[in-house]
Amino acid sequence: MPKKHDIRWFVVEEIPQNVPFVMGITRFMVQEWPKRGLGEGVKKYFTWFEKDLGRMVYIMKEFEKEADFLSQKMLRDPVWALKVLGDIEKWSSRFFEAARRFRNLRFAGFSNHQLISSFEKVLKWHTLSHGVGSSLSWHADANGERVSRGLLAIIQKRIKENLSKVSTAEVFTILSSPEKESGLKKEEKALLKLVIKKADSVDLCRHANKYEWLNYQYKGPAFPFSYFADRFGSLNPAKAKRLLSEIERRDQNTREQKRKLVKELNLNSQERSLVKMAQEMVFIKDYRKESLYHGMYCYEPFFREIARRFALSIDQVRTMHWWEIVSLLRSDRVDVDELNERMKQAVYFVSRDSYKIYTGARAGKFLSQIKWQYVKKRIGNEFHGSCAYPGKVRGRVKIINIPQDMSKMRKGDILVAHNTNPNLVPAMKIAKALVSGAGGLTCHTAIIARELRIPSVVGIPGIDKILKDGDKVEVDSNKGIVRRIKAGR
């Protein structure tokens, strides 16, 4: 339990539709990062769950100390950062492969010991991918965008030195765009190719089975077959060929623009490494998240088997951490009342030498002792953030944080969110602009904005609570500004 002295905690991230199983990785963040040279700023942390809303809660000074350490080390030594990012990519690929094999096992015929053995083979890569990955791809740039701002400063200096007339925001967007493709982009191109070759229903089923996990996030559901069939049916070969050519042409133009800008700005070897690091950060954030969503999709049959053997629901299983599932399989003992309490409210508290779970009255007592670091409320009608993709547009706001919100969205609306996730992409594709509270190179909103070429401003904390549905706004992402022109009714 936290001591009653002047320690201020704050919520760094709110994650809707989250599950405790996923957040067990925070144990790695606090207890293992120091051993791997990833900093030792964070000594205490907790995840606060209310039903399926997970809040990531840190002591502000500790979070900032850790972010300072990581960002400074990355900006000073991009070669080191690229080595770590390369390892994370390797571990995420292994996680993809191990999870895919795991999903196809016939769990009903396995003994408890066999279940443990198979499960641990996946966990090896899961913990490395997600445990190490959040350091460089998230923490270093979260809540202050330290890496992003460091790179922007370098770009601005080079533009000034070379008397270039290019836009800083546009240069930053182009140079930080990754060369490697996301799962969403691979799926889109693969579907267009199926239309072009006039594929049959068997090929479309294979495609759906390969990519249905993209929408899964932490507890599903996956994309239904109709999602792929409807998109397939709305296209003809000529249109699909044109769309595929446009994607490939844009990618080629971006590659050419990168080469031209690196030469025009006269970037030295250190700065080129930093540009490469930025590209890898963006890719790894998305790839690591995709490996996690795919992993959770692949865990589902296993979770259902655990639920069947011990007369639990799958949601009760998801409130357990992996080491608790292993313990259950070894002991055949489970406290159902405790799992039910976790589904209502729970605090998962980790320090350097312990991990504690508080539910019911104990969770209430824990939270009553917390002193919160409140962020000053933003007032007025002009809000400043960072450019994720340049442009200037006007439209009506729609607050979209969970898939159930997407029914509000109409083509041309401005999508505003605390942060976005892959299960919101259908709404993001019809938005005129994207705005999010979360910020930095690697926030999901910034990644999708680059991919879709949609004007976007990120890094405006609380914007999804400041703006309201129907507000008319101007998004000037070239300057990183969102202006409310008229309040909605």
Q: pLDDT (tens digit, 0 to 9) for every residue of the chain, 489 residues total? A: 545 556 899 999 899 889 999 998 888 889 999 999 999 999 999 999 999 999 999 999 999 999 999 999 999 999 999 999 999 999 999 999 999 999 999 999 999 999 999 999 999 999 999 998 899 989 999 888 999 999 999 998 988 888 777 788 888 889 999 999 999 999 999 999 999 999 999 999 999 999 999 999 999 999 999 999 999 999 999 999 999 999 999 999 999 999 999 998 999 999 999 999 999 999 999 999 999 999 999 999 999 999 999 999 999 999 999 999 999 999 999 999 999 999 999 999 999 999 999 999 999 999 999 999 876 667 789 999 989 899 999 999 999 998 889 999 999 999 999 888 888 888 999 999 999 998 887 788 888 898 888 999 998 988 999 999 999 999 999 899 999 998 876
Domain assignments of the chain as residue spans, ordered by start: 8-142+301-372, 183-255, 382-486
**Separation CA 178–CA 447 (nearest Å):** 9
Which pLDDT does position 199 carry in this prediction? Answer: 95
User: Which residues are CB-contacts of 256 (< 8 A; sequence separation ≥ 6)?
Assistant: none
Which pLDDT does position 233 carry in this prediction? Answer: 96
Which pLDDT does position 116 carry in this prediction? Answer: 98
Tell me the one-letter amino acid at 250.
R
Which pLDDT does position 6 carry in this prediction? Answer: 66
Secondary structure of the chain in HEC code, one letter for each residue: CCCCCCCEEEEEEEECCCCHHHHCCHHHHHHCHHHHCCCCCCCEEEEEEECCEEEEEEEHHHHHHHHHHHHHHHHHCHHHHHHHHHHHHHHHHHHHHHHHHHHCCCHHHCCHHHHHHHHHHHHHHHHHHHHHHHHHHCHHHCCCCHHHHHHHHHHHHHHHHCCCCCCHHHHHHHHHCCCCCCHHHHHHHHHHHHHHCCCCHHHHHHHHHHHHHHHCCCCCCCCCHHHHHHHHHCCCHHHHHHHHHHHHHHHHHHHHHHHHHHHHCCCCHHHHHHHHHHHHHHHHHHHHHHHHHHHHHHHHHHHHHHHHHCCCCHHHHHCCCHHHHHHHHHHCCCCHHHHHHHHHEEEEEEECCEEEEEEHHHHHHHHHCCEECCCCCCCCCEEECEEEECCEEEEEEEECCCHHHHHHCCCCCEEEECCCCHHHHHHHCCCCEEEECCCCCCCHHHHHHHHHCCCEEECCCCHHHHCCCCCEEEEECCCCEEEEEECCC
CATH class as words, domain 382-486: alpha beta
Tell me the one-letter amino acid at 389.
Y
Which pLDDT does position 447 carry in this prediction? Answer: 86
Q: Do 84 and 39 contact (CB within 8 A), yes or no?
A: no
